[in-house]
Each structure stands twice: as C-alpha cells, then as structure tokens.
Amino acid sequence: EIVLTQSPGTLSLSPGERATLSCRASQSVSSSYLAWYQQKPGQAPRLLIYGASSRATGIPDRFSGSGSGTDFTLTISRLEPEDFAVYYCQQYGSSPPGFTFGGGTKVEIK
Amino acid sequence: EVQLVESGGGLVKPGGSLRLSCAASGFTFSSYSMNWVRQAPGKGLEWVSSISSSSSYIYYADSVKGRFTISRDNAKNSLYLQMNSLRAEDTAVYYCARVAKPSWFVFANWFDPWGQGTLVTVSS
C-alpha cells in the first residue's frame, strides 16, 4: 500500500504570497497517477490537479502541480482569499487498495 | 449537469446498521466505477470502497471489510453502501464520488465529481 505524507500540516501565509505544498509517497507512484483536491469547511472536496500536473476544468492557472516518482508539489502562485482551505493529495492507479489520500495541508491566513 | 446526491445518514447505535444511497444524474451511470470516501470529524479523507461499472469488481478498505457492502443499481442510477456492525470510529461524513473517466480498471482515475456528503453518527 502506498502511503502519502503531506507537509507541512499547516501553512500560514498572506494573500498574494506563494504557497508550496508537498506530497511524498512511500513508493513510486506509477505514471504520475497523483491528484490534488481542495476542500473548504462544510464542502465536498474539489478536484484541482490530476496526472500530477494537469489542471482540472475551470481551475485558475495560479494552481500548478509538478513532480514524479515519490515527490509531488502543488503550487499556488499568488494566494487569493478564496484559496485558504485544506488541500489533499491522492494516488490512484495502483493495485488494491488503489486509492490513498494524504493527511492534508491546511493553508490559513497569516 | 453531473450530480451526485447522497442520503441515508443519521444517528445509529453501536452495532447497528445503516444503508446509504447516492443518486446520480447528468451522465451515463452504468459506464463509470463509483466510490465511497469518508471523513471523520476534523480528520482527513479515507477511501472506503469501490465498485466497477458492472459490479464485477468490488474493493474495500481493511477498516470496513466484512462489515460494509457496496452495490449499485444501474437501472436506477444509484449507488449504495450497506453498513453493518457499526462502530464509533465509523462516525464520518460519507461522500459518493465518481471516477473521472470510464475504464475497465477501477483504480485508473481520480475522483470527479463528488457528492455533498451525508453524516453518519454512531453513538449510544
């Protein structure tokens, strides 16, 4: 089973600043089968990135994903007020159990 | 518009049972694998179970194996989760989620979209 570790647990930043979120896998994630989701309080997760670097439909280009193998990064180039939320990475594509999530990174207003 | 709407959550005593439903609309339900994901209060996301488009392949997280049963009715565009022998640690919001693309391999794709979730509380 692939274990995903996200860091930091909490990121305190101001609007306009750059956010860099990390997701590290316990073993290589095949074909960059990694997704990122955003979740706001009381809401369902929303897809941001799939395939490690492809933006989902309607996602602003200030969100970008990168990485391969065991190290992946979600970058928010300039934080907008609506970006303060919890972010989760997810791996897919492996043998059962084929879906695992990281523990999440909370991006909070400094 | 693609939509997933969960129902069936509520308060149940330890050892009790509950059946969750997820009504799908806006897409060809029978072509997509479907999933349940849960989130305990204040915690992260946990994958619970997946079912292939024709119900041929079914998978469970170890934490629910033997207690939960996933099923679907393609004629009714509905997904279900039968939860038995419920424990306090099963308390969570349960989300129904579709894989993004049809595929023979249940784990081939990310989740998109998600339903709004239904809260299950297990307490005496």
User: Which residue of A49, A54, A99 is the best one to mutate when testing the B interface, meaning the one whose CB has the most B CBs within 10 A?
Assistant: A99
Q: Which residues in chain B touch residue A95, judged by CB atoms under 8 angstroms apart?
A: 107
Residue-wise burial string across B95-106, b where 16 or more C-beta atoms lie within 10 A, e elsewhere = bbbbbbeeeeeb
Query: CA nearest A86 in B: which residue?
Result: B44
**Confidence at residue A32, expressed as pLDDT on a 0 to 100 scale:** 84
Question: Residues in chain A, how many?
Answer: 110
Percent of chain B with pLDDT over 70: 100
**Nearest chain A Cα distance for residue B16, angstroms:** 26
pLDDT tens track for B69-93:
999 999 999 999 999 999 999 999 9
**Confidence at residue A31, expressed as pLDDT on a 0 to 100 scale:** 76
Instruction: Please check the confidence at residue B115 and state whether its pLDDT lies above 80.
Output: yes
The CA-atom distances, in angstroms, between B103 and each of B1, B51, B73 are 21, 12, 18
In sequence order, the β-bridge partners of residue A47 are A37
From A19-33, A48-62, B3-17, B88-102, the region with the lowest mean pLDDT: A19-33
From A25-29, A35-39, B72-76, B116-120, the region with the lowest mean pLDDT: A25-29
Helix count (H) and strand count (E) of chain A? 0, 11
The CA-atom distances, in angstroms, between A38 and each of A20, A57, A75, B27 are 14, 14, 12, 23
**Nearest chain A Cα distance for residue B14, angstroms:** 25
Instruction: Tell me what the mean pLDDT of segment B1-10 comes to.
Output: 97
**CA separation for the pair A23, A7 (Å, rounded):** 7
Q: Could you tell me if B35 lies within 8 Å of chain A, comparing CB atoms?
A: yes
Instruction: Please check the confidence at residue B49 and state whether its pLDDT lies above 90.
Output: yes
User: Is it true that the peptide bond before A60 is cis, omega within 30 degrees of 0?
Assistant: no
Asked if A101's CB is within 8 angstroms of B47's CB, the reply is: yes
Instruction: Tell me what the mean pLDDT of segment A48-76 comes to.
Output: 97
Q: Could you tell me if B116 lies within 8 Å of chain A, comparing CB atoms?
A: yes
Q: Which residues in chain B touch residue A99, judged by CB atoms under 8 angstroms apart?
A: 35, 47, 50, 107, 111
**CA separation for the pair A86, A104 (Å, rounded):** 6
Query: Which amino acid does the sequence have at A57?
Result: T
**Confidence at residue B103, expressed as pLDDT on a 0 to 100 scale:** 87
